[in-house]
């Protein structure tokens, strides 16, 4: 059971250009349906990948959200850490929500990235602001699964979008072993607490 809308915010994880539209559409849908009051995104300077390409541009992201009709007063770019990646974005989101005393927040991204972005958000919440209830808001717009895309900062060549799902699962396994993600049992315990706390 979700909390009564509107939630204080939805956070759109930074996406490479070919994946941006999914997060923009989902954030816009939440805002237009008055399910959230603010749209948060990864702010700061352009993020370049290890090959020097601009992988994510906060300015461009904000322009796209404005084009969708979201007023600038309802947008907020959370400054990111260096290096910038999903893990540090999730940490900055949890710290921002704590500073603002948010009780709930949605997170969204692109389809291949959503599962890891949500798992990273749970990790950051448990470690930095355990009172926060974080909710996954997966994108509903589908892109061509066979389109060749760049999803990751370490990915040199484009690959079919569908193949990036396996890459994301491998990353989750690696990050769990490193201690940067919770176990499945720990995530389920958090989700059980979150859901019970709504009632």
Under the banding of pLDDT at 50, 70 and 90, the label for residue 94 is very high
Of the listed ranges 19-28, 133-142, 143-152, 174-183, the least confidently predicted one is: 143-152
The predicted structure's pLDDT at residue 151: 63
**Beta-bridge mates of residue 159:** 149
Cα 3 to Cα 50: distance, rounded to the nearest angstrom: 40
Cα 156 to Cα 179: distance, rounded to the nearest angstrom: 26
The predicted structure's pLDDT at residue 104: 98
Domains and CATH numbers, the chain: 7-198 (3.40.50.620)
Which pTM does this prediction carry?
A: 0.89
Residue-averaged pLDDT of the chain: 89
Cα 168 to Cα 158: distance, rounded to the nearest angstrom: 15
**What's the mean pLDDT in 123-136?**
98
Under the banding of pLDDT at 50, 70 and 90, the label for residue 121 is very high
pLDDT of residue 63 exceeding 70, the answer is: yes
pLDDT of residue 166 exceeding 80, the answer is: yes
Contact 38, 134 (CB under 8 A): no
The predicted structure's pLDDT at residue 134: 98
* pLDDT top residue among 61 and 130: 130
The predicted structure's pLDDT at residue 141: 59
The predicted structure's pLDDT at residue 192: 97
Under the banding of pLDDT at 50, 70 and 90, the label for residue 167 is confident
Cα separations (Å) of 62 from 46, 72, 105, 132? 12, 8, 19, 25
The predicted structure's pLDDT at residue 118: 97
The predicted structure's pLDDT at residue 80: 78
The predicted structure's pLDDT at residue 154: 63
pLDDT of residue 133 exceeding 70, the answer is: yes
pLDDT of residue 28 exceeding 80, the answer is: yes
The predicted structure's pLDDT at residue 81: 75
């Amino acid at each position: 059971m979700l909390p009564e809308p509107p939630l204080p915010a939805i956070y759109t994880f930074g996406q490479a250009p070919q994946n941006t539209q999914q997060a923009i559409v989902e954030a816009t849908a939440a805002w237009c349906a008055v399910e959230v009051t603010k749209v948060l995104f990864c702010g700061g300077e352009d993020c370049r990948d290890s090959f020097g390409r601009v992988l994510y541009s906060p300015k461009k992201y904000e322009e796209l959200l404005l084009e969708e009709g979201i007023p600038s007063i309802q947008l907020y770019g959370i400054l990111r850490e260096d290096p910038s990646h999903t893990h540090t974005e999730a940490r900055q989101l949890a710290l921002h929500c704590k500073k603002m005393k948010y009780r709930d927040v949605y997170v969204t991204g692109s389809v291949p990235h959503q599962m890891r972005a949500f798992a990273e958000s749970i990790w950051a919440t448990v470690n930095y602001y355990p009172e926060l209830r974080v909710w996954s808001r997966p994108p509903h717009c589908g892109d061509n699964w066979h389109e060749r895309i760049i999803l990751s900062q370490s990915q040199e060549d484009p690959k079919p979008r569908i193949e990036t799902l396996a890459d994301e699962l491998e990353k989750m396994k690696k990050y769990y072993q490193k201690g940067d993600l919770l176990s499945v049992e720990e995530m389920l315990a958090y989700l059980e607490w979150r859901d019970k706390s709504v009632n």
